[in-house]
Chains A and B, each alone.
Chain A
């Protein structure tokens, strides 16, 4: 290949007999493959960076004599950061070779040319082996080796070393090896300082050594102390006039590498990887947000579509067990203790397991697939408004399904304070259990505006939650966010890893929160049954009566409404059921035979299995956002309508939205943040719920009247 611009340079083209040729290049550019292709040797070759960690040598017999080929470990720079780079730099400086063969990855030309420019400053005869041309073509690059040769002033040989393509041309080019003619452009003062220092260095690589010393780098050969002191003084002088030698030298190399790459690049149609293609959409400035929300919605729907049949199944098993207990010859109070207290309590604990398990499956999938890192990036800007980290969006969104797993999912945040802030905000996210209460009350009191009322309650919960997190953040001080993030490539997680992770987390919940939930259920059972058989005269009703003066300013005075808040502490799911019992009276549990009960369990199991399978297409169906249209009022609806005014009903809904989270959530908060913060959450939310419910009541009075 011709090299017209080489004529003016210091040509040191050696005879090939007995010469020492060193291959240098970035890691994984195929240096060892090249030497094996040239010499027919059998040096170790790998398809990953760092295969060569030592100096390897092979003999090459040519017609003109023998050539010693030395393979050095891959290096990105001669200013070493790794032992391999140090070895390469030391070999080049301590034993300057006759010819440097710079092996360059044609598909990553610009990155590789940075080292080429450093080698050029060593002042050694050089040839560039433009290897992996086939991969460059596959990536969509069309290169012009001749243009690069003209720009560098040394022979440039295109190669595919693994197939032996271009190796003969490379051997021929060794005789034309030259000291590169190009000089990098540094600021004038820096250039002069380098020249002055280089004059005092007796080494072929004097200029490179001078620049390295000015940049404050360690040079891997022995230099006299006077030279080092002089370099230190020159560096200090440069810094005094506002020149940062390290930054300027490196910048000049990157700028020139960029220019050279542009010169050599005839055309590029980069072929995108799958990750690139997906990220084009996922990280799109406008579409990224909706796609992220869609992803979260799918995770959310997956969790509840797949878990609901199994929650129902657990409920059915509970009913069957209660039926079997009713069939036993036990006193009513003992039977109630076993059926409603013990079975009810254990059932409540276990009924969380399907929700948690499927949620953790979704989370583990998102985490290991690479989506969660992108979700954090996309939500980052939104969350910054509340001073929260991007990943905080995930537990907050999950809180709309169930607060318990949402609190546990704060573990994806590494900062303890951030976890606490998000943990305290989560109970304000209206969980699906509260939706049942809102739907009932909105349909009874605001039939024309039910959807808006429910939507408004969700919005209120979000605002209060974010305000809570923001307020805590403000108290701690929030400096501006900064940084650059590398996103991992997408990967399809293995089912085994996902299931194992999900089960471990679910088991952790059952072991940690099961006991407290069971105790709370038994406590409520005790309130309801003392004295036995008299609900209106029970402790339960009396406690509700004590609460009445406290809730009078909210317009809620009916003990039945107030009493439903007590089991609501155990689980919000039971609020509506308790209201039905209080207003309409409890239905006795029917006794069940063993076979009949077993049949019911099997039938429900089969139905749950079918519903789960049927959930797959439903996952991608449109969600129902509004509550279903109201049917003819049920007995409970009619009773509620007669017992409280609309303004007070609205205040009741706000109170249910914001007051103490259920016992499982409190336990989760205790497990994650300790007793103190769990207690703070309960007290804070009780007070805030009352204040906001009162405010809403007063506003509603103006809007709706008494």
Chain B
């Protein structure tokens, strides 16, 4: 189930769309994302992050990301796969 969520993060979708595809309610998916974030498999994207480097450069949703160092929670959080998340996904496929 969690790998399915990781797989869905490979393309831009809304929370509701991914929830429908995985077959859970958005609230459950939110919990899954927090679990995955806690494990380091997904990360909240921050715009203009030096860590993002080239990986953020082509992301069409990056403009919805909060600025680096922002203490305000993003109104529209964007999650993206981390290196660990991608490795876990590839391992499970």
A binding-site residues for B, Cβ under 8 Å? 76-77, 79, 81, 108, 110-111, 114, 242, 244, 246-247, 250-251, 254-255, 257-258, 276, 279, 283, 373, 376-377, 380, 383-384, 387-391, 412-418, 473, 476-488
**How many residues in B have their beta carbons less than 8 Å from beta carbons of A?**
52
* Bound complex: CA A365 to CA B17 (Å): 25
Are B31 and A389 in contact (CB-based, < 8 A)? no
Please indicate the chain B residues that have their CB under 8 angstroms from the CB of A114 in the complex. Answer: 31
* Bound complex: CA A417 to CA B60 (Å): 13
Please indicate the chain B residues that have their CB under 8 angstroms from the CB of A389 in the complex. Answer: 59-63
Are B60 and A384 in contact (CB-based, < 8 A)? yes
Please indicate the chain A residues that have their CB under 8 angstroms from the CB of B15 in the complex. Answer: 484-487
Of listed B25, B30, B48, B78, residue having the most chain A CB within 10 A: B25
Nearest Cβ on chain B to A487's Cβ, whole angstroms = 5
Q: Known pairs A380-B12, A391-B63. 12 more at Cβ < 8 A?
A: A79-B38, A254-B35, A389-B63, A391-B64, A481-B58, A481-B59, A482-B81, A484-B13, A484-B78, A485-B64, A486-B14, A486-B30
Please indicate the chain A residues that have their CB under 8 angstroms from the CB of B30 in the complex. Answer: 111, 486
Please indicate the chain B residues that have their CB under 8 angstroms from the CB of A110 in the complex. Answer: 24-25, 27-28
Are B55 and A484 in contact (CB-based, < 8 A)? no
Q: Which residue of A lies closest to B81 (CB)?
A: A482
Are A279 and B12 in contact (CB-based, < 8 A)? no
Are B57 and A476 in contact (CB-based, < 8 A)? yes
Of the candidates B1, B35, B80, the one whose C-beta lies within 8 Å of that of A482 is: B80
Q: Which residue of B lies closest to A254 (CB)?
A: B1
Whether A388 contacts B91 in the complex (CB less than 8 A), given A110-B25, A484-B79, comes out as: no
Encoded as 1 (CB less than 8 Å from any A CB) or 0, chain B from 41 to 77 comes to: 1000101100000110111111111010000000111
Nearest Cβ on chain B to A27's Cβ, whole angstroms = 12
* Bound complex: CA A416 to CA B62 (Å): 12
Are A111 and B25 in contact (CB-based, < 8 A)? yes
Are A283 and B63 in contact (CB-based, < 8 A)? no
Are B12 and A484 in contact (CB-based, < 8 A)? yes
Of the candidates B12, B48, B88, the one whose C-beta lies within 8 Å of that of A485 is: B12
Nearest Cβ on chain B to A227's Cβ, whole angstroms = 22
Whether A242 contacts B28 in the complex (CB less than 8 A), given A373-B64, A376-B61, A482-B9, comes out as: no
Of listed B9, B11, B23, B59, residue having the most chain A CB within 10 A: B59
Of the candidates B13, B25, B58, B65, the one whose C-beta lies within 8 Å of that of A480 is: B58
Are A108 and B39 in contact (CB-based, < 8 A)? no
Q: B16 interface residue, CB < 8 Å from A? A: yes
Please indicate the chain A residues that have their CB under 8 angstroms from the CB of B79 in the complex. Answer: 483-484
Are A488 and B39 in contact (CB-based, < 8 A)? no
Please indicate the chain A residues that have their CB under 8 angstroms from the CB of B3 in the complex. Answer: 247, 251
Nearest Cβ on chain A to B46's Cβ, whole angstroms = 10
Nearest Cβ on chain B to A514's Cβ, whole angstroms = 29
Q: Which residue of B lies closest to A216 (CB)?
A: B39
Are B76 and A247 in contact (CB-based, < 8 A)? no
Are B24 and A258 in contact (CB-based, < 8 A)? yes
Please indicate the chain B residues that have their CB under 8 angstroms from the CB of A418 in the complex. Answer: 63
Of the candidates B2, B48, B67, the one whose C-beta lies within 8 Å of that of A254 is: B2
Are A485 and B76 in contact (CB-based, < 8 A)? yes
Q: Which residue of A lies closest to B32 (CB)?
A: A254
Q: Which residue of A lies closest to B47 (CB)?
A: A414
Q: Which residue of B lies closest to A255 (CB)?
A: B1
Nearest Cβ on chain A to B5's Cβ, whole angstroms = 9
Nearest Cβ on chain B to A254's Cβ, whole angstroms = 5
* Bound complex: CA A218 to CA B31 (Å): 20
Are A244 and B60 in contact (CB-based, < 8 A)? no
Nearest Cβ on chain B to A491's Cβ, whole angstroms = 10
Whether A76 contacts B34 in the complex (CB less than 8 A), given A279-B16, A484-B8, comes out as: yes
Q: Which residue of B lies closest to A374 (CB)?
A: B14
**Shortest Cβ-Cβ A-B pairs, 3 listed:** A479-B58, A478-B58, A481-B60
Nearest Cβ on chain A to B81's Cβ, whole angstroms = 7
Q: Please list 19 pairs of residues, one from A and one from B, whose beta carbons are closer than 8 Å in the complex, sorted by A's number.
A: A108-B27, A250-B39, A258-B24, A376-B63, A380-B12, A380-B61, A388-B60, A391-B63, A414-B65, A415-B62, A478-B57, A481-B59, A482-B11, A483-B79, A484-B8, A485-B13, A485-B77, A486-B77, A487-B14
Are B63 and A413 in contact (CB-based, < 8 A)? yes
* Bound complex: CA A486 to CA B13 (Å): 9
Q: Which residue of B lies closest to A377 (CB)?
A: B14
Nearest Cβ on chain B to A19's Cβ, whole angstroms = 31
Please indicate the chain A residues that have their CB under 8 angstroms from the CB of B32 in the complex. Answer: 254
Nearest Cβ on chain A to B20's Cβ, whole angstroms = 11
Q: Which residue of A lies closest to B41 (CB)?
A: A247
Of the candidates B10, B27, B41, B60, the one whose C-beta lies within 8 Å of that of A390 is: B60
Of the candidates B35, B59, B67, the one whose C-beta lies within 8 Å of that of A483 is: B59
Are B57 and A485 in contact (CB-based, < 8 A)? no
Nearest Cβ on chain A to B91's Cβ, whole angstroms = 6
* Bound complex: CA A416 to CA B78 (Å): 19
Of the candidates A247, A279, A391, A479, the one whose C-beta lies within 8 Å of that of B55 is: A479
Nearest Cβ on chain B to A439's Cβ, whole angstroms = 36
Nearest Cβ on chain A to B51's Cβ, whole angstroms = 15
Nearest Cβ on chain A to B89's Cβ, whole angstroms = 10
Whether A242 contacts B31 in the complex (CB less than 8 A), given A484-B14, A485-B76, comes out as: no
Q: Which residue of B lies closest to A251 (CB)?
A: B2
